[in-house]
Amino acid sequence: MRPIPFPPLQSSVRLALECLSLACALAGCSASAAPLTSERIENAGNEPHNWLSYYGNSRGWAYSALDQINAGNAKNLVVKWAFQLGSQDLQVTPVVVDGVMYVSNKDQQVFALDARTGEMLWRYNYAFADADKMALRTQWRGTQINRGVTVVDDKVLLATWDAFLVALDAKSGKEVWKRQLGNYETGNAFSAPPLIAKDKAILGVMTGEMPNRGYIVAVDVKTGAERWRFWTVPAPDEPGNETWAGDSWKHGCGAAWMTGTFDAHLNLVYFGTGNPCAYWDGEPRAGDNLYTSSTVALDADSGMLKWHFQAVPHDVWDLDNHAELVLVDIPIEGTPAKVGLQAGKNGFFYVLDRTTGEFILAKPFVDRINWTSGLDERGRPVPHVVPTAEGAVLCPGANGARGPGHTAYSPRTGYVYIPVRDMCTFTKVVHKDPEVGKLFLGGEGSPSPEGSQGYIAAVDAASGETKWRYRSRYPMSASVLVTGSDLLFTGDIEGYALALDARSGRLLWRFNTGSGVKGSPISYAVDGRQYVAIPSGQGGLSAFFWPRTYPELANATRGSTLFVFGLPEE
């Protein structure tokens, strides 16, 4: 097989790939020749042929410098291989390390595949600690999610939805260690892979919308021993507890349910946190309810809180601030700055000083926002429409303006690309006392007659101004990938894998995968060829929620297939 020559764009990337291929050919290196150290993960930009972590790098960019596939040839993309993962509701991000792809499914199976051919190298089947009790946990399918694995050193780390972290041998798939880090009977679960910060794997817990407290926990990569734990809802002897009335802190939620980001120079890890509980009934929990619906910056070594920014104080709208903080160095009003960029569920795009947490600016990226009449100079919102016992339409609602799909940042365009779900919810407050292991919503929500919109929004990172939108028939759930040839890859609920021009939003290519796309596209290269992998698979909670808004989706095909695309051979 003769590789397709690289185009003249990004010659440094081409040279790096050619040198790597030549070095491997001369040395006879195998996929496991070099251990995946934390230093390699921190410097992932030096290895554009790999996709080493959830966002591709520790800074949350979801950016690949590869440029072999470009605006001129994207229309020629074909399926190189496909792999059935045997489940449904595929929301994963594959990881590629030196020619081996690691991918998981909702049933907590992990697969190692040859990244060039799709041939399975090994498979791991997770056994739940108490399968009988887990089978009873069908009332809230939201905890039964898996968004991928983390690879570090010689291990593959799987965070499970019965609150364990499992380390597998990367060569064989055999268990190395297994640690319980939460109690699934109270609602604890893990849905996203851990972040690597030096010798630690750091991950946040889901609370399952049940009355418990969220936390972020760090474990030793080698042994699984817990190194520190930060509670997102502080106890009475901790700062911030005064923002909770009475004993409401005991069941305050504040899940940290997405993978964080890491600044190695500042030694800070950043996580977004979810809503307080009960999320629509705020009367019993008077106060700001720290550190829910916030971004927290923690010392990577100790877990000590360095700063926080609460996007939604006293959240009664279910506007989780779960989204990743994207770490970039850009000029703000002509002055170089270390900033964090975040497109929140509340409909605002934020720019924060990532050293101090100081608010710099925020701009709406959706058209309909009624929960606040605006933000003050510190970024604190002024509440406007709130849920009531009689009912109110909240915009964005519980499913908007961002889902779990992550953004992408291009250092070439300076844009952040946001998968948008511009949706409203009709909500009634219903008071309920907390019960262990039971849903604690504080109300009832239903689709709003206002209708909904879906699009990809390209937002200028320095100004927050929206530059273009690509509109979809339905709200967007999949993550976004952007490449060194200014291509954007994503997918939609109809099942199309999409390639857009990252500078204009023009549609360049689409492919019908047969099921809704909810996962995260990635790009990698093997033997001098660039590939794009896009997970496809509708199911889970979305199979329940979407038909309530779009009845025609009631019979949408569910699935779980990983498609890998590339250019035709010459």
Locate the domains of the chain by residue range: 11-566
Q: What is the rounded average pLDDT of the residues 466-477?
A: 96
Q: What pLDDT, in 10s, does the model give residues 528-559?
A: 999 999 999 987 777 777 777 888 888 888 88
Which DSSP string do the residues of 161-206 spell out, in sequence order? TTSEEEEEETTT--EEEEEE-S-GGGT-B--SPPEEETTEEEEE-B
pLDDT at residue 553 in the model: 83
Residue 171: exposed, middle, or buried by beta-carbon count in 10 A (0-12, 13-18, 19+)? middle
> Of 107-111, 132-136, 168-172, 398-402, where does mean pLDDT reach its minimum?
132-136
- pTM of the predicted model, to two decimals? 0.93
pLDDT at residue 135 in the model: 55
Higher pLDDT, 231 or 13: 231
Q: What is the rounded average pLDDT of the residues 280-291?
A: 97
Q: What is the distance, to the nearest Å, from the Cα of residue 311 to the centroid of all Cα atoms in its chain?
A: 18
pLDDT at residue 25 in the model: 33
pLDDT at residue 131 in the model: 64
315 pLDDT exceeds 70? yes
- For residue 496, what pLDDT band results from cuts at 50, 70 and 90? very high
pLDDT at residue 27 in the model: 34
Q: Tell me which residues are annotated as active site.
A: 318
The CATH architecture of the domain made up of 11-566 is 8 Propeller (2.140)
Listed residue (353, 356, 303) closest to 328, CA to CA: 353
pLDDT at residue 14 in the model: 46
User: What dihedral angle (degrees, nearest 10) is formed by the CA atoms of 212, 216, 221, 227?
Assistant: -90
Higher pLDDT, 68 or 161: 68
Residue 214: exposed, middle, or buried by beta-carbon count in 10 A (0-12, 13-18, 19+)? buried
Q: Distance (Å, rounded) from C-alpha 276 to C-alpha 282? A: 9
Q: What pLDDT, in 10s, does the model give residues 125-158?
A: 999 877 666 554 544 445 578 999 999 999 999 9
318 pLDDT exceeds 60? yes
How far is residue 175 from each of residues 36, 110, 125, 127, 559, measured CA to CA in Å? 18, 11, 10, 11, 28
Per-chain mean pLDDT for the chain: 91
